[in-house]
Structure formats: structure tokens, C-alpha cells
Structure 1
Amino acid sequence: MDLALAWVVVGGLLEPVWVIALKRFDSTRNLAWAVVTIVFAVLSPVLMGIGMKTMPVGVAYAIWTGIGAVCTMIVGYYLYNDKVDALKLVCVGMILAGVVGLQFVSGGA
């Protein structure tokens, strides 16, 4: 894995942090959750931006959002008992296949 891809992946992995923190802030109005939301809502795209210096913008964004969406769904399942059925798993599989495919056809595999 090249360094640009690593930055984008780490940024994508941080995306669920601010999403969950936002949900926690919304339900508790605890300002600590607001701070966590702001910090990670800034840090996540900044890391993606670092990766985009040497990676195509569309590919970086697709990887970042794909990882963020899949990880947020997983976290929602474990923390909030969000429903996950076979059709959702198929859709998540398609997201992951698309992310891997984009990286492959972009010469990053």
C-alpha cells in the first residue's frame, strides 16, 4: 500500500468517529462530544487531502467515503443495534468491490 492510499484509508477510518460523536452530542448535548465531532470532522478530510496530492481526486474520494460508510454501518450495528440484513451486506460488498476496483484500475494495486 502506498503512502497516499494509507492517508486516505486512515482518513476514511476516522470518518465514523465524528459521525458517532455527532450522534452522541445530539442525544446528550455534552460539549465534549461536540469537540470530538469538530476535531475528527476536520481531521478526516485533511488526511484524505494529503493522500490526494498524488492520487486522483475521484478515486481518493470514493475510497474515503466507501470506507467511512462501511465502517459507520458496522459501528452502528454494534453500538446502536442498527438492522443489518442480507441485502445490506450485498450492498456493502458492492461498495467494497467498487473501492478495490477503483484502486486497481488506477494503478494502485
Structure 2
Amino acid sequence: MPWVLLVVAAGMELVWATALKRSEGFTRLWPTVIGVPVCLLSVVVLTLALRDLPVGTAYAVWVGLGSLGVAVTGMAVLGESVTPMRVTCLALILAGVIGLKAVEG
């Protein structure tokens, strides 16, 4: 269950980071209204996962999956550049997350 919570928290990171990008520095209401509470909720869910997971592993996975999701969303939805090196680096992040899960079990 802690790994499920961790993945949910990372998914929320994708939502809040994208919403805050769209808030244009908190000048747009609805992206701000979505982004800030989801950010807080993401940290709450991460905290629940931390009850049973080591902090280093959980935080690395949370940030890694969140970063990966935000970067892919940026490329797919926001028109950010897609380069072979960028995709390779994102694949390495994913490999690291999978490795941490394998080590922790």
C-alpha cells in the first residue's frame, strides 16, 4: 500500500506542477485554485507513504516520477522540445525509480 500511495502522490505532483505553470505566477485563478491544494495534498499523501518507506527512497521516487510525468506532459501538451538526449535522461530517471523499487521490494 505505501508504494501505491507514493505513486498517487507523484501523480498529484504532475497535476500541481502543470497547474502552477498555467497559473502564470498565480495571476490566473483556476490553475492556482487547482495547483495549490493539490500540491498540499500530494505532500500529505507522501507523508502517509513515509510511514512505511525509507525517506530517501520515497522522496527520490516521488520527485523522480513527478519530474518524469511533468517533463512528458510538457513535451506532449505544452510544446516543449523533444530531443534524443532529453528522452534518454528521462529514461534514466525511470530506470532509477524502478531500481529503487526493486531494491526496497
TM-score normalised to structure 1 length:
0.89
Q: In structure 1, the residue corresponding to 2:53 is in which secondary structure?
A: coil
**1:60/1:29 CA distance change after superposition, 3 Å:** same
Select between 28-37 and 59-68 the one with higher mean Cα deviation.
28-37
| Matching residue within 32, 35, 38 for 1:37 | 35
The one-letter code sitting in structure 2 at the alignment partner of 1:103 is K
What is the CA–CA distance in structure 2 between the aligned matches of 1:32 and 1:94, rounded to whole Å? 34
Identity of aligned residues (%): 33
Cα deviation for residue 16 of structure 1 reads: 1.4
Unaligned runs of 5+ in 1: none
Cα deviation for residue 29 of structure 1 reads: 2.2
What is the CA–CA distance in structure 1 between the aligned matches of 2:70 and 2:2, rounded to whole Å? 22
Name the residue aligned to 2:63.
65
Deviations 1:37-83 (A, max 9, x none): 11111011111111110011111001100110010011111221100
CA RMSD of aligned residues (A): 1.4
Name the residue aligned to 2:83.
85
| Matching residue within 4, 7, 22 for 2:5 | 7
The one-letter code sitting in structure 2 at the alignment partner of 1:60 is A
Paired residues in the alignment total 105
Q: After superposition, where does 1:45-64 map in structure 2 within 5 Å?
A: 45-64=43-62
TM-score normalised to structure 2 length:
0.93
What is the CA–CA distance in structure 2 between the aligned matches of 1:94 and 1:78, rounded to whole Å? 19
**1:80/1:27 CA distance change after superposition, 3 Å:** farther
Unaligned runs of 5+ in 2: none
